[in-house]
Structure 1
Amino acid sequence: MRYDMKINFFSNEEKKYNPRVHQYEGSTRLVNQEMANVTDLGLTRQVEIFGAFKEGRKTIRLINKPPEKWSFLMLENDDKKYTLLSSLNPSKGYALIVGENNAKN
């Protein structure tokens, strides 16, 4: 299996008002970067896991454990945001099932 795509994990910090500077502070920040194997989640597997098919779901396989706290991830050369739907802990590495952020699970 090739780990040929760079994955960027991001965290959304809640914006809070700072009365000293009269502005809201807090933003999105990069938490971690990993190389991964990314494939589309197949029709049969989606129906087995979620009971329905939705476009934009992917399986991401990682060698290292993903960060504990992250809000969304982005794939290399892709401007879509993906959120966690499910995770698996196979015998080797880690696997995440993610869906497009705009898609309602």
Structure 2
Amino acid sequence: MRYDTKINFFNSEEKKYNPRVHQYEGGAKLVNQEMANVTDLGLTRQVEIFGTFKEGRKTIRLINKPPEKWSFLMLENDKNKYFLLSSLSLSKGYALIVGENNAKN
């Protein structure tokens, strides 16, 4: 298995106005970067896990444990934000199932 895609984990905070510097502060902050194996989640597996099929769901396999607190992730060369749907701790790493929108279904 090749870990050939860079994953960026972000934690998003609500933007707040700081009157001292006259700017908004907060928003998405980079938490961690990892190399991962990324594949599309197949039709059969989606129906088994979620009961429905939706495009844009991916399986991400990591060697290291993902950060404890993160809101969304972005893939290298992809402008979409992916949100956690499910996760697994495997004997040889970790697997995340993510989707393009924040809804669980």
Output the TM-score relative to the length of structure 1.
0.91
Residue number in structure 1 paired with 2:16 = 16
**SS of 1:27 mapped into structure 2:** strand
Local SS of the residue matching 1:89: strand
Q: Could you list the runs of 5+ residues in structure 1 that have no partner in the other structure?
A: none
The one-letter amino acid of 1:84's match is: L
Confirm or deny: 8 A CA contact 1:59 1:96 kept in the other structure: yes
**1:29, CA displacement in angstroms?**
1.1
Gaps of 5+ in 2: none
Question: Matches of residues 25-64 of structure 1 in structure 2 within 5 Å?
Answer: 25-64=25-64
Q: Which amino acid aligns with 1:69?
A: K
In the alignment, is the contact (CA less than 8 A) between 2:85 and 2:104 conserved in 1? no
Q: CA deviation at 1:20?
A: 3.8
RMSD between aligned alpha carbons?
1.6
> Which structure shows the higher strand fraction?
2
Is the 2:83–2:102 Cα contact (8 Å) retained in structure 1?
no
Report the equivalent of 1:99. Answer: 99
Percent identity of the aligned residues? 89
Task: Indicate the SS of the match to 2:14.
Answer: coil
Task: Report the Cα offset of residue 23 of structure 1.
Answer: 4.3
TM-score by length of 2: 0.91
- Contact residue 34 and residue 62 of structure 1 kept, 8 A: yes
Residues 64 and 94, structure 1, Cα contact 8 Å, conserved in 2: yes
- SS of match in other structure, 1:47: helix
- Matching residue of 1:5: 5
Query: Is the contact between residue 80 and residue 101 of structure 1 (CA under 8 Å) also seen in structure 2?
Result: no
